[in-house]
Amino acid sequence: MRVSLDWLRELCPFDADSSRVAAILTGRGLTVDALEQSGSDTVLDLDIPANRPDCLGHLGVARELSAALGLPLLDLPTVPSESTALSITIADPVLCPRYSASMVSEVCVAPSPDWVVRRLEACGQRSVNNVVDASNLVLLELGHPIHFFDADAVRRRAGGDPAKITIRLAREGERLRTLDGIDRILDRETLVIADDLGPLAIAGVIGGADTEIVESTVNVLIEAACFCRRTVRDASRRLGIDSDAAYRFARGVDPEGAPRAQVRAAMLLTELADGRTTGAVTDLYPGRSGPARLTLHPGEIRRLLGFAPETEAIRQALEALHLAPQAAADGALLVRIPSWRVDLEREADLVEEVARHVGYDRVPSHPPTSAPTEPPQRISAMEESVRDLLSAAGFHETVGYAMLAAAEDGDWIATGAPQGVAIANPIAETLAVLRRSMMPGLLKAALSNRRRGIDDVRLFEVGRCFVALPGSSAAPLEPTRAAFVWIGAGAPRHWSRPARDVDIYDILGLVERAVAALAPAAELRRVDCGVPGLRPKESTGWQLANGSFVGRAGRLHPRAEGELGIPVYVAELELDSLASVEPGWPRHQPLPRLAPVTRDLSLVVEGGLTFSAILAALGRIDAPAPARFEAIDRYEGPELGPGRSSLTIRVILQPFERTLTDAEIEGYRLRLVETLAARLGIGLRG
C-alpha cells in the first residue's frame, strides 16, 4: 500500500524524516518496501500483513507512528447526529453487523482540486471527479470503504417514493449490472444491498451501474457499513472482483469506524463538491458487541520471548497501543481490545504486541543446545546415496517439474496402470497432470542439451512420482525414484583413442552397480521392462526376490528416439524397493593361501544361446575347488559362419586347502567341455 508522508503528518505531528519513519514502521511489522518522491511529498510503499487491516489506511499507519513516537493521534470528528429518515433493514446481523447511511444534497460533480489529484496520485490512484475522489480519500485515509449511491437514481427505482433498503442475501438468479458494466447473475450466498426491485449493490464488493455516481448526480447517499468478512471474500472471489473495498472487508473493517467514515465523507463532499448536509445519519448496529478483553501474564511474555521487559515497560507498551491495561490478579494485566484490532484474539497475540513495541532487538539470543537425534528415514538416506553415486559416475543432477501434459508419460507406464492425477486448476496445458514417470522431463532436458550442441548427455533426477490408487479418493502414492539418461560416449573421451559410444552394457552395468551399492543384500531377478518406451529386445527390468519392482533400463524405442536421432539409453530405479532391503555389512571371508588356477574355454556359440544359459550349465558341474567363470572375449567373424560367435570363458578355480593336481584340473576342464557339448551342443573353437 502506498502511503503519503505528508498525509501521515496531518494525522500525527511527527518530525521524523522519511528514512526514520521507514525504519520505525519496518521495525513494527509494517515493512517499507520502497521510498519514493512524489513532488514535495514522500511516498512509502508498505507491505501490510494480512492480519492488520487496521493499517490499510493512513489513520492506522499514523496510529502505529503515534504509538512508537509517543505523539498524539489527531482526532477525527466521529459523532454524527442520529436520524431515522431512511428506511433500512438488516436481514442478518451476522452478515451485516452495522449499516449506516446519510444524505449529502446538491453536490456539483466537477474535476477535483489539484491537492486531491496529487494526493490520489501519490497513493497510486487516478482522480475521477470530486465526488468519486471523496469516497477514495475516505478509504485511503481511514481504511474504511464507503459507497456512494446516486440518491435520485435510488428514488427513481422506487417510483419517486423514499427507498426501502434491505441488506439481505441475494435470491437465486437475481441480476445486477455492476458499475464495471457487466451483468451479473447472483446466487444465494451473495450479500446485497437491495430495494424492493432488487439488488442495488453487492455488499462490500461493488456497486450497481444504475445507481452509480454520474456527472448529473445531485444528491448522494453515503453508505458506511461493516459486512461479514467471509461473505465478502467469497463473493469477491466467485465474481472475480478484486476491489479495494472487498480487500479490506475480507480482512476485517472496524465496525466502530463507520460513523467516522460517514462524517469524513460528508465533510469532503461539502468541501470538494459544494454539497449540503444536515449531519444526520441513519445508523443500524444490530451486531454491536462489547469490547473483547484478554488477560496478559508477564510470565507468558517471559515464556514465549525468553525475557520479560519491566512491568512498567509492558504497561506503557499496552497503553501506547490503546489496549488500556488494568491490573488484575497475580500481577496479570487485563486489557481491552480496540475495535479496529481484529487480529488480537489470544494472549500470544498480546505477547507479540509487547515485543513489537519494545522491539524484537530486545529479545536475547540463546545458542542451540544439542541432543541426540534419530537417524533419518531410510528413503532420505537412499536418495542421498544415489545422488552421490550417479554424480560420481559422471551424471549431472537436474530438477524437473512434477507436472506434465496429460498422457505425456504414457510410454513409461505399464498398460492398464491408473491415469495420472489431474490438476484442477493447471497453470498451463503442458503442466496439467502429476507425473507418473520422470522420464519425459529428463528426455526433454536431454534433447535441449543436444540442441545446444552438447554431444555427451548424462543427466539424472531424484524425485517423486505420483501413482493414483484406482477407485479411491485417498492421496496418490508418491514413489521416490531415480531416473537417468545416457547419450554419446560410453567412456571419457581422450585423444589417445577413438571414442566408444554408450551401449546397453554400460547402462545395465551402471544400474547393477548402483543397486549393489545402495542395497548390497538385494537379490535381483531380471524381468521384462514392463513399459512400451523401451526396445523389447534391448531392455530389462529387475525385481527383488519378493517380487517388488526395482527398476528398468534399456534403449529408447525408435519412436521415442527419433527426435534425438542417436541411441539413447535410460534407466529408472524404485528407491522405495531398495530401501525395503535390509541393510547389511560385508562379511569377511578368509583369504586363500593358494594361487588360483585358470583355464580358458573358447567356445563357438550358436545365435540364440545366452551367456547365462552357459553359466548355468557350467555351474552344475562338480569342481575340484570353488569355481567361477568370466566372459573375457566375444568375437563374430565370417570364418565362424552366420549367426555364430566365439565366446571365451575363463574358468577360475580357487583351491583353499591343497594344491590341485594337473590331472584334477584337466579332468574338470574335460567335464566342462563334454557337458557343454552334450547339454548345449556347443564345442571348442577349432
Q: Is 546 in the site for other proteins (CB under 8 A)?
A: no
The span from the CA of 38 to the CA of 15, in Å, is 19
Tell me how far, at minimum, the Cβ of 227 lies from other proteins, in Å. Answer: 13
Nearer to other proteins, 313 or 640 (CB): 313
Window 227 to 286, contacts with other proteins (CB under 8 A): 229-230, 233-234, 237, 250-251
Nearer to other proteins, 407 or 454 (CB): 454
Residue 430 neighbours by CB under 8 Å, 6+ apart: 404, 405
Window 318 to 347, contacts with other proteins (CB under 8 A): 346
What angle do the packed helices 244-251 and 229-239 form, to 10 degrees?
140
Q: Is 545 in the site for other proteins (CB under 8 A)?
A: no
Q: Is 313 in the site for other proteins (CB under 8 A)?
A: no
HSE-CB of 172 using CA atoms within 13 angstroms? 0
Among 207-215, 330-338, 348-356, 636-644, the segment contacting other proteins (CB under 8 A): 348-356
The residue whose grid cell reads 508477564 is: 298
Among candidate residues 149, 152, 160, the one with its CA nearest the CA of residue 200: 149
Q: What is the C-alpha end-to-end distance of the chain, expressed in Å?
A: 91
Of positions 322, 336, 387, 650, contacts other proteins by CB under 8 A:
387
Q: Is 349 in the site for other proteins (CB under 8 A)?
A: yes
Kindly report the length of the chain. Answer: 686
Window 418 to 437, contacts with other proteins (CB under 8 A): 421-428, 431, 434
Contact (Cβ atoms closer than 8 angstroms) between residue 534 and residue 521 = no
Of positions 91, 110, 197, 454, contacts other proteins by CB under 8 A:
454
Q: Is 402 in the site for other proteins (CB under 8 A)?
A: yes
Tell me how far, at minimum, the Cβ of 223 lies from other proteins, in Å. Answer: 23
Tell me how far, at minimum, the Cβ of 326 lies from other proteins, in Å. Answer: 23
Tell me how far, at minimum, the Cβ of 566 lies from other proteins, in Å. Answer: 15
Q: Could you please report the per-residue DSSP string of 457-472?
A: EEEEEEEE--B--TT-
The span from the CA of 221 to the CA of 204, in Å, is 15
Nearer to other proteins, 489 or 524 (CB): 489
| Neighbouring C-beta atoms of residue 339, cutoff 10 Å | 16
Q: Within its chain, how far is the Cα of 424 from the centroid?
A: 15
Q: Is 294 in the site for other proteins (CB under 8 A)?
A: no
Among candidate residues 142, 127, 141, 123, the one with its CA nearest the CA of residue 38: 123
Contact (Cβ atoms closer than 8 angstroms) between residue 61 and residue 31 = no
Among candidate residues 615, 536, 544, 531, the one with its CA nearest the CA of residue 575: 544
Nearer to other proteins, 427 or 591 (CB): 427
Tell me how far, at minimum, the Cβ of 348 lies from other proteins, in Å. Answer: 4
CA-based R_g, the chain, Å: 40
Tell me how far, at minimum, the Cβ of 202 lies from other proteins, in Å. Answer: 17
Of positions 189, 244, 397, 506, contacts other proteins by CB under 8 A:
397
Q: Is 394 in the site for other proteins (CB under 8 A)?
A: yes
Q: Is 26 in the site for other proteins (CB under 8 A)?
A: yes
Tell me how far, at minimum, the Cβ of 454 lies from other proteins, in Å. Answer: 5
Fill in the amino acid letter for 268: L
Of positions 330, 416, 494, 591, contacts other proteins by CB under 8 A:
494
Tell me how far, at minimum, the Cβ of 617 lies from other proteins, in Å. Answer: 37
Q: Is 505 in the site for other proteins (CB under 8 A)?
A: no
What does the angle CA 343 – CA 345 – CA 349 come to, to the nearest 5 degrees? 75
Give φ, ψ of 505 to 5 degrees: -70, -30
Nearer to other proteins, 392 or 663 (CB): 392
Nearer to other proteins, 234 or 256 (CB): 234
Q: Is 565 left (phi over 0), alpha (psi -120 to 50) or beta?
A: left
Among 198-206, 326-334, 440-448, 599-607, the segment contacting other proteins (CB under 8 A): 440-448
Window 52 to 111, contacts with other proteins (CB under 8 A): 52
Of positions 156, 175, 303, 513, contacts other proteins by CB under 8 A:
303
Strands 220-226 and 175-177: unpaired
Window 133 to 152, contacts with other proteins (CB under 8 A): none
Q: Could you please report the per-residue DSSP string of 266-292?
A: HHHHHHHH--B---EEEEE-TT--PPP
Number of residues that bind other proteins (CB under 8 A): 100
Of positions 5, 21, 28, 176, contacts other proteins by CB under 8 A:
28
Among candidate residues 42, 39, 59, the one with its CA nearest the CA of residue 118: 39
Nearer to other proteins, 463 or 655 (CB): 463
Q: Is 393 in the site for other proteins (CB under 8 A)?
A: yes
Q: Is 449 in the site for other proteins (CB under 8 A)?
A: yes
The span from the CA of 435 to the CA of 418, in Å, is 12
Tell me how far, at minimum, the Cβ of 384 lies from other proteins, in Å. Answer: 7
Q: Is 401 in the site for other proteins (CB under 8 A)?
A: yes
Instruction: Report residue 603 as a C-alpha cell.
Output: 567356445
